[in-house]
Each structure stands twice: as structure tokens, then as C-alpha cells.
């Protein structure tokens, strides 16, 4: 089982430097990646409920985290339709070069209609745009003379450099739910799946099995897929010796929790491994950099040693 530090929500950190410090701490604690999320603006009103106001530009934050770390992968959950594809492809390839091949694109379709309107992007066409943009990115990253002709993007007669440091290109994970469109996108275009907002129930477990079968039917190795979920861990506590008694792992969107001992959290991790997940993004519940870092250190020292590579409790 691999672990990623999910930085969102950003307002609790106080500075970009504090996020960089946390990434360094995560690297020392044995985490495998740090995760960056994406919004450009935060519309007011009920349609944007739950969207926090602080959103650093993803390119600046991802680049900064790459310069602060040496081993961590920089996973960016990017709303693909928000930006022109030529620009996004160039930014991704450049950051991948800077990081020495440590960038992962988690491709999201997006959902916040007012934000699409403010950015001048057709919300109703976001799925079709995402499909085309991902195919166009692959052309830009792999073809000697890239060319693409689609409804939403067309290009030819160009040179695209630098290309990704990773071959043939950066890994592409598909963010989304358990519906037919995200699963089709994984089979056709993705190297991984990052479901969001679904409970770890029989439906999700069945979907993991179905996805692997469809990938195998397409002639690909299902065991090469990254299948990742995000769990919330911990409640804000100041004292490290109280964390072991207060830690909790959220299993689903209903905020179910498990008891607070390291063994109980490790058992929660094992349930995801048994369901076919091989990476967990950890969103610590601290309200400040100090609280999150306490819990991050606690997880590395008390929980991670209990979990082996297969996600089973030692």
C-alpha cells in the first residue's frame, strides 16, 4: 500500500513554505507522494458550498513541492477542461522534467458550473472536452510531429518540447465516481482510477473488480493500474501522546470512523487493500500546519510500520 499526503484544504497551512515543509516531513515519514488539488476561483453562493476560498495556482505549488523533495511523486488532481490543452501539456511536461520524472496527472472532469462559466468553458461539454484533451496531450507528448483533429482542439505543423521525462508520458489517473464515463475513460485513456465520493461498500468493491476485468479485456495489465482512494484521518489535537487515543480513519462519505489505536487505523487500511486499492491519499484533519504535522509524524511512526506492502496488518 502506498500513501499520499493530501494538502487540501489549503487555508490551514498559512504559507506555501509550510506546505513544502509538510512534503519534506511526509517524504521522511515514508509517504510515496503529495497531492495537489485544483480550482481557479471560488464562486459565492449555495452552488459552491463546501469549496474553500484558498487555492494556490497548481503549477506554482507543484513546482515548489518538486524543488523541496527528492523522492515524492507530485500528484496533481487537475480539472482538465479549465485550460487550453497546449498550455496544460507544456506545464505538465516541464514540471515532470524539473522533478526528474515524478509528476502524476489525476485528470478530473470538474463539477462547479459557475466556475466553468467564469472561465468561459462549456460545463455541458466538459466530459467530451476532457476526453479530447487527454488524447491531444498524449499526441503532444509522444508524436515526433504532433497533430490532432477534434471538435474542441485541433493542431498540426508544430514542435512540442520539452517532452515528459517519463516514457511514454506522465501517468494519467482518472478522477471520478463509479459511473460509466469515468470507468470508460480509465479503460481507454488511464493508468489509474481515483474514485471520489463513494462509500467502501459492495458496489465500490464490485466496481474495482469490474474495472480490472475491462482493462484485461482491452489487452492491458490490470495489476499495473493504480487504484486509489482518499480517507480522512485524525482530529485536531495538540499533544502527540493524545493522538493515539484520538486518531480516527474515515471510511466513507458518511464520515464513519474506526477507533483510535494504530492497529485500528491499520485495519482500515487493510480493508482498502483487500478491496483492490493500492494507494491511499491521507487527508489529516488538523486545522493548522502544526496539528497536521503532528498527525503526519504519528502516522509514519505508529501506523505505517503495522502495514506491509500488500496492505495487511503485520
What are the tens digits of pLDDT across the range 220-234?
A: 999 999 999 998 887
Domain membership of residue 289 as a residue range: 2-306
Residue 106 confidence class, pLDDT cut points 50, 70, 90:
very high
Q: Is residue 130 part of a domain?
A: yes
Q: Is residue 196 part of a domain?
A: yes
Strand partners, 263: none
What is the gyration radius of the CA atoms in the chain, in angstroms?
19
pLDDT at 62 over 80: yes
Name which residue leads in pLDDT, 269 or 255.
Answer: 269
Mean pLDDT calculated for residue range 46-71: 90
Task: Enter the DSSP assignment of 10.
Answer: G
- CATH number (domain holding residue 280): 3.20.20.30
Ramachandran class of 127: left when φ > 0, alpha when ψ lies in -120 to 50, beta otherwise: alpha
pLDDT at 138 over 90: yes
- Provide the domain count of the chain: 1
Closest C-alpha to 279, from 4, 92, 19: 4
Whole-number pLDDT of residue 256: 34
Q: Is residue 312 part of a domain?
A: no
The kind and range of the H/E element at 66 are helix 58-68
Mean pLDDT calculated for residue range 83-98: 98
Whole-number pLDDT of residue 254: 36
Name which residue leads in pLDDT, 135 or 307.
Answer: 135
pLDDT at 241 over 50: no
For the packed helices 126-142 and 180-189, what is the interaxial angle rounded to 10 degrees?
10
Q: Is residue 313 part of a domain?
A: no
Instruction: Label the pairing between strands 154-155 and 279-284.
Output: unpaired
Q: Is residue 314 part of a domain?
A: no
Mean pLDDT calculated for residue range 159-172: 97
Mean pLDDT calculated for residue range 18-31: 97
Closest C-alpha to 89, from 39, 146, 37: 146
Mean pLDDT calculated for residue range 1-22: 96
pLDDT at 124 over 50: yes
Coil, strand, or helix at residue 104?
strand
CA distances from 187 to 199, 210, 219, 287 (A): 22, 11, 10, 38
CA distances from 150 to 155, 172, 201 (A): 9, 20, 38
Residue 249 confidence class, pLDDT cut points 50, 70, 90:
low
Q: Is residue 266 part of a domain?
A: yes
Exposure b/e, 271-285, CB count within 10 A at least 16 = b: ebbebbbbbbbbbbb
The kind and range of the H/E element at 97 are helix 85-98
Question: pTM for the complete prediction?
Answer: 0.91
Q: Is residue 54 part of a domain?
A: yes
Amino acid at each position: 500500500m502506498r500513501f499520499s499526503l493530501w494538502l487540501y484544504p489549503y487555508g490551514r497551512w498559512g504559507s506555501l513554505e509550510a506546505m513544502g515543509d509538510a512534503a519534506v516531513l511526509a517524504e521522511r515519514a515514508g509517504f510515496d507522494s503529495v497531492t495537489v488539488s485544483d480550482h481557479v476561483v471560488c464562486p459565492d453562493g449555495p452552488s459552491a458550498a463546501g469549496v474553500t476560498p484558498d487555492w494556490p495556482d497548481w503549477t506554482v505549488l507543484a513546482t515548489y513541492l518538486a524543488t523541496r523533495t527528492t523522492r515524492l511523486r507530485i500528484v496533481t488532481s487537475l480539472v482538465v477542461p479549465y485550460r487550453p490543452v497546449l498550455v496544460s501539456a507544456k506545464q505538465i511536461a516541464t514540471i515532470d522534467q524539473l522533478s526528474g520524472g515524478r509528476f502524476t496527472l489525476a485528470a478530473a472532469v470538474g463539477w462547479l458550473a459557475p466556475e466553468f462559466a467564469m472561465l468561459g468553458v462549456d460545463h455541458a461539454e466538459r466530459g467530451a472536452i476532457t476526453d479530447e484533451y487527454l488524447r491531444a496531450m498524449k499526441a503532444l507528448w509522444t508524436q515526433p510531429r504532433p497533430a490532432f483533429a477534434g471538435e474542441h482542439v485541433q493542431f498540426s505543423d508544430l514542435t512540442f518540447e520539452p517532452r515528459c521525462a517519463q516514457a511514454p508520458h506522465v501517468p494519467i489517473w482518472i478522477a471520478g465516481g463509479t459511473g460509466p464515463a469515468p470507468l470508460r475513460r480509465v479503460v481507454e485513456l488511464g493508468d489509474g482510477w481515483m474514485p471520489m465520493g463513494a462509500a467502501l461498500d459492495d458496489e465500490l468493491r464490485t466496481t474495482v473488480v469490474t474495472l480490472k476485468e475491462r482493462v484485461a479485456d482491452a489487452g492491458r495489465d490490470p495489476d499495473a493500474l493504480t487504484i486509489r482512494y482518499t480517507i480522512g484521518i485524525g482530529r485536531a489535537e495538540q499533544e502527540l501522546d493524545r493522538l493515539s487515543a484520538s486518531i480516527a480513519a474515515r471510511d466513507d462519505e458518511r464520515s464513519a470512523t474506526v477507533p483510535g489505536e494504530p492497529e485500528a487505523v491499520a485495519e482500515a487500511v487493510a480493508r482498502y487493500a483487500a478491496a483492490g486499492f493500492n494507494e491511499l491519499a491521507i487527508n489529516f484533519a488538523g486545522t493548522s500546519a502544526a496539528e497536521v504535522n503532528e498527525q503526519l509524524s504519528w502516522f509514519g511512526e505508529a501506523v505505517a510500520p503495522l502495514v506491509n506492502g500488500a496492505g495487511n496488518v503485520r
